[in-house]
């Protein structure tokens, strides 16, 4: 067995689509990520850098990150993937049991504003 990533906090992957730093990203192919879609169960982390399709992008897989809120998010809310690599407050009734919790909000944020979250992917 050969160690691929020392601690796995930062992973270089290929962008499957254009990505903007701060977007939640999901696995879309072999070592490939794209902006997360709503309710995604394949989220791996948050893009640290911008990347055009087929370029390398650095993905943060743990820690505290800033992402854009889709809808209001309150401190302490569990969050899930929303469209375009954003996050929304997790709701069992809205998400069903299949939506992956990707973190916990550390502050309040209005729709379209950035929110700090503790990643839990």
Q: Which pLDDT does position 27 carry in this prediction?
A: 97
11-54 pLDDT, tens digit each: 999 999 999 999 999 999 999 999 999 989 999 999 999 999 99
Residue 101: inside a domain, yes or no? yes
Residue 52: inside a domain, yes or no? yes
Query: Do 32 and 72 belong together in one domain?
Result: no
Full residue range of the structural domain in which residue 18 is found: 10-60
Query: Do 55 and 74 belong together in one domain?
Result: no
Residue 99: inside a domain, yes or no? yes
10-22 pLDDT, tens digit each: 999 999 999 999 9
Query: Do 35 and 78 belong together in one domain?
Result: no
Q: Which pLDDT does position 104 carry in this prediction?
A: 96
Query: Do 33 and 76 belong together in one domain?
Result: no
Domain count of the fold of the chain: 2
Query: Do 41 and 68 belong together in one domain?
Result: no
Query: Do 23 and 50 belong together in one domain?
Result: yes
Residue 94: inside a domain, yes or no? yes
Query: Do 27 and 48 belong together in one domain?
Result: yes
Burial 62-89 (b: 16+ CB within 10 A, else e): beebebbbbeebeeebbbbbbeebbbbb
Choose between 94 and 121: higher pLDDT. 121
Query: Do 70 and 34 belong together in one domain?
Result: no
């Amino acid at each position: 067995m050969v160690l691929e990533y020392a601690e796995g906090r930062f992973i270089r992957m290929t962008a499957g689509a254009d990505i903007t730093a701060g977007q939640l990203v999901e696995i879309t192919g072999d070592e490939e990520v794209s902006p997360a879609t709503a309710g995604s169960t394949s989220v791996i982390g948050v893009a640290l850098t911008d990347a055009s399709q087929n370029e390398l992008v650095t993905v943060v897989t743990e820690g505290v990150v800033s992402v854009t809120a889709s809808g209001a998010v309150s401190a302490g809310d569990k969050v899930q993937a929303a469209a375009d690599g954003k996050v929304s407050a997790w709701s069992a009734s809205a998400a069903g049991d299949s939506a992956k919790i990707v973190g916990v909000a550390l502050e309040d944020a209005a729709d379209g504003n950035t929110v700090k979250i503790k990643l839990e992917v």
